[in-house]
Each structure stands twice: as structure tokens, then as C-alpha cells.
Amino acid sequence: MDAEKSGINTEITQAKEGIASLLLQANNCDTEIGKLLPAISSSAAKSSSCREKIQLLQESLTTLEARHHQVGREVQMHQSHYKDALLDLEKLKISITAATGNLGTLHEEIKRLAKEGELVEKREATGQKVSEEMKTRVEELLLLAAGEQKTLNELESAYREEQAQHHAAQSTLRDLRRKNEKSQQLLSALNQERLQLEQVLDRLFTEVQIKHQCDLATLAAPALEPSFHRESAQQQLGILMQQREQFGAVNELALEEYEGEKGRLDFLVEQKTDLLNAEQQLRATIEEINKTALQKFETTFREVRKNFITLFRELFDPEDEVDLLIHASEDPLDAHIEIIAKPKGKKPLSIEQLSGGEKALTALSLLFAIYLVKPSPFCILDEVDAPLDDANVTRFIKLLKKFENNTQFIIVTHNKKTMASCQALYGVTMEEEGVSRLIPVRLEKIRL
């Protein structure tokens, strides 16, 4: 018990000391709070002042941003006016060049017409004399033509009579031909019937010769010997016929048929062997062709894929996702090839979800990737830059510059940047209704 009381007293003493320490700390905190109250009040005032300044600055920033947007729109409008003015300037230069050419052409045309006028006046003077001579000549020719017309009419009448006789002769000839065809058919039928009768007669002679051992063709009335006994001869004949029947039917043409069938069998076996050899050679050739085509296809596909990825990233962004994939198939030559094109910031499920300009640049990338593998001397592009903006048109022009040393490009376009990058322009104008005229312009001659 004394030990417990001693422990409790100790704990009470420690608790009192802790309370005294906490009271001392509380007094110190009150003192510190009293010292900090003026600073806190000053900071609150400064914070309120800063909030007011920040609010004023935000309002000023909003005003400046609105002014910035308005100035940006004005700058875009002025840039648009500037571009339109440049296009009008280029058109005026082209028109001036064309007008200068037309002016020279008109001066030459005026000189030519003046010379032709002088020649016409001279020809008119001589033409009157020639006209009088021609009138006299025409009258003579009219008289001659009347006589020739009469002769022509007589010849036409004779021709019609001959034509009628010719038609009648053709009709008679057709009747005779029909009769001849019927006679030929009847003669053919009679010959066929005669051949059938001869075959039947030959078969009957053969059967009589086999059964009765006599040739009807050389048969004559036999002379009977005095010692001939008919009954014993009939018995002997019955025995012989019974023995013959035991042998069964004998085909006298079997050997010939065997030879014929054997020859045909040998021919068919030879043909079969030739066909099997040809089939093996053909299969080997097809396998070799397919192997060579597959090797060339794989090599070309790898080169085109590599070029396509490089050109696509040049036209878009180096970090774009692009690839050419060939789907697995039993025959790689018939496999489906998929084009993957995902510009940065977009995740289309298929190429059909790209914009018109992106589709155009993708198609150009694939086209020129093939050109790098198999160059072409000519290339015609029809309005391929229509869906492109100015930045992409610039990239398109740079791409053309890379290939212009090996390929001549003919571009149908209305884009001023594309026209400005060309070496020559060919415009088609219709000064007169239904008459088109080609106007070539060399841009090197009109650049300032």
C-alpha cells in the first residue's frame, strides 16, 4: 500500500509540474500573440490592397486581350487584302504580258491585211477579165454538158435494163442452186442407203460362210460323187456342228480390233505421259514465277513502305504515326494492304476519317513513295492542291521540287502559290464564242 501511495504521489507531482509548464507556455503564447496582432492587422490591410490591385489588373488584362483579339482580326483582314492585292498584281502582270503579245500580233495582222488588200485590188482588176473569159467558157461547157447529160440518160436506161436482166438471172441461179442442193442431198441419202445394204449383204455372206462353210459369192451347183451317202454326211455334219458350238462364238475381226485398240491405248498412254510432264514443267514454272514475283513484291513493298513513312513525316510531323501494313494471307500477292495515317493530335479509326487536305497529302506521300522506287518521266496532277491550305501548299511545292529533276510535272491548278512556283503557265481563254486560245507565259520573264 505504501508503494502504491508513493507512486500515486509521484504521478500527482509530475502532473502539477506539467500543468505549471503548460501555464507558462500559455502565457508565453499570449505574449507572442499580443506582439503579432499589429503585424497581422498590417498584413490584412496589405492583402486587401493587393486584392484590389489584382482586380484592377485583371480588368485591364481583359481589356487588353479584347483589344489584342480585335487587332489580330484587323491584321488577318489586312493580310487577306494584301494577298488579294498580290493575286490581282500577278493577274495584271499576266494580262499585261498577254496584251503586249496581242498588240504585236495585231500590228503584224494589220500589216498583213494591208498587203492582202493591195493584192486583192490587183487581183480584182485581173479578175474582171478572167470573169468575162469564164462566162464564155461556162456557156460552152453548158452546151457540152447538155449533150453529155443526154448520153448519160441513155446509158442509165441501158443500165436499168441490164440490171433487171441481172436480177432475173440471179433469181434463176438461186432456183438452180436450190434444186442442185436437193439433188445432192438425195444422192447422198441413196449412197448412204447403198452402203448400208452392202454392209448387210457382207454380214449375211459372212454368217453363211461361218455357219455353213460355203462362200455364196463363188457358189456353184456341186457335182455329187456316186459314193456320196446323204444320211451319213448329215450325221457327220451334226457332229462337226456340235463340236464347233462347243468352241463358242469366234470373232474373226478380234485380232484387227485388238491391234487397233492397242495402238489407241499406246497413243493415249503417250499423250498422258506428255501431259503429266507438261503439267510438272508448268507447275515448276508457275512456282518459280510466284517465288520471283513474291520476292520482288516483298522488296518493292519494303522500299515503298520506307519511302512512304519518310515522305509522310516530311509533309506532316516527324512524330506522326504512319505505316503500310499487309494482312496475313495464303497468297501475299492477293493480300489486303492497309494504310495507317494518324497525324499528331488525332486518333482516327480509319483513313476515311481524315480531312480532305490530310487525305490529299497522304495520297501524295504514297504516290511519290512509289515514284522513288519506279520513277516516271511524266506526271499529271489535277487539282490535288485544292483541299490544301497555304502551309500545306508550301510543303507540296517543296515535295515537287525534289522530284522535278527526274519527272516533268503537268499541274492543273487555281492556287496562286502553285502557279507562282511553276516554270511556265498555260492559260486557256475564249475571246470568241466557241474558239479557245492557249496563252503560254514564262514566269522568269515577268519576275521583278
DSSP sequence for 27-91 = HHHHHHHHHHHHHHHHHHHHHHHHHHHHHHHHHHHHHHHHHHHHHHHHHHHHHHHHHHHHHHHHH
For the cut 60, the answer to whether the pLDDT of residue 191 exceeds it is: yes
CA gap 279, 272 in Å, rounded: 10
Q: Which residues contact 400 (CB under 8 A, 6 or more apart)?
A: 409, 421
| pLDDT band, very low/low/confident/very high, at 187 (cuts 50, 70, 90) | confident
> C-alpha distances in angstroms, 126 versus 104, 129, 130, 140, 348?
33, 5, 6, 22, 84
For the cut 80, the answer to whether the pLDDT of residue 257 exceeds it is: no
The fold of the 375-448 domain, in CATH, is Rossmann fold (3.40.50)
DSSP assignment letter at 1 = -
Residue 447: predicted pLDDT: 42
> Can you tell me the mean pLDDT for 304-316?
85
For the cut 80, the answer to whether the pLDDT of residue 385 exceeds it is: yes
- 430 three-class SS: strand
- CA 398-400-405 angle, to 5 degrees, is 115
Residue 258: predicted pLDDT: 74
Helix axes 390-403 and 254-315, enclosed angle (nearest 10): 120
For the cut 80, the answer to whether the pLDDT of residue 285 exceeds it is: yes
Residue 212: predicted pLDDT: 63
Residue 377: predicted pLDDT: 84
For the cut 50, the answer to whether the pLDDT of residue 122 exceeds it is: yes
Report the amino acid identity of residue 398. Answer: K
CA gap 246, 381 in Å, rounded: 95
Give percent of the chain with pLDDT exceeding 70. Answer: 85
> Can you tell me the mean pLDDT for 100-128?
76
> Can you tell me the mean pLDDT for 164-174?
76
CA gap 438, 427 in Å, rounded: 6
pLDDT per residue over 438-447, tens digit each?
A: 888 776 644 4
Highest mean pLDDT among 97-111, 125-139, 228-242, 413-427: 413-427
Residue 254: predicted pLDDT: 66
**Look-up: residue for cell 515577268?**
446
Residue 446: predicted pLDDT: 45
> Can you tell me the mean pLDDT for 279-305?
87
DSSP 327-341: ---SSGGG--EEEEE
pLDDT per residue over 335-383, tens digit each?
A: 788 888 777 767 767 777 777 888 888 888 888 888 888 888 888 888 8
DSSP 303-331: HHHHHHHHHHHHHS-TT-EEEEEE---SS
Lowest mean pLDDT of 61-75, 258-272, 287-301, 419-433, name the range.
61-75
Query: What mean pLDDT is reported for the chain?
Result: 77
- Using alpha carbons, select from 221, 214, 259, 257 the residue that is nearest to residue 237: 214
Judge whether 417 and 397 are in contact, CB under 8 Å: yes
- List residues bridging with 435 in a β-sheet: 432
Q: Which cell numbers in the block locate residue 352?
A: 476515311
pLDDT higher for 420 or 72? 420
| pLDDT band, very low/low/confident/very high, at 448 (cuts 50, 70, 90) | very low
> Can you tell me the mean pLDDT for 379-395?
86
> Can you tell me the mean pLDDT for 220-243?
69
Q: How many CB atoms lie within 10 A of CB 369?
A: 20
> Can you tell me the mean pLDDT for 30-40?
73
pLDDT per residue over 261-276, tens digit each?
A: 888 888 888 888 888 8
pTM reported for the whole predicted model: 0.39
pLDDT per residue over 44-91, tens digit each?
A: 777 777 777 777 777 777 777 777 778 777 777 777 777 777 777 777
Q: Which cell numbers in the block locate residue 290?
A: 510466284
Residue 252: predicted pLDDT: 62
Highest mean pLDDT among 70-79, 147-156, 275-284: 275-284
The fold of the 290-373 domain, in CATH, is Rossmann fold (3.40.50)
Judge whether 297 and 332 are in contact, CB under 8 Å: yes
pLDDT higher for 141 or 7? 141
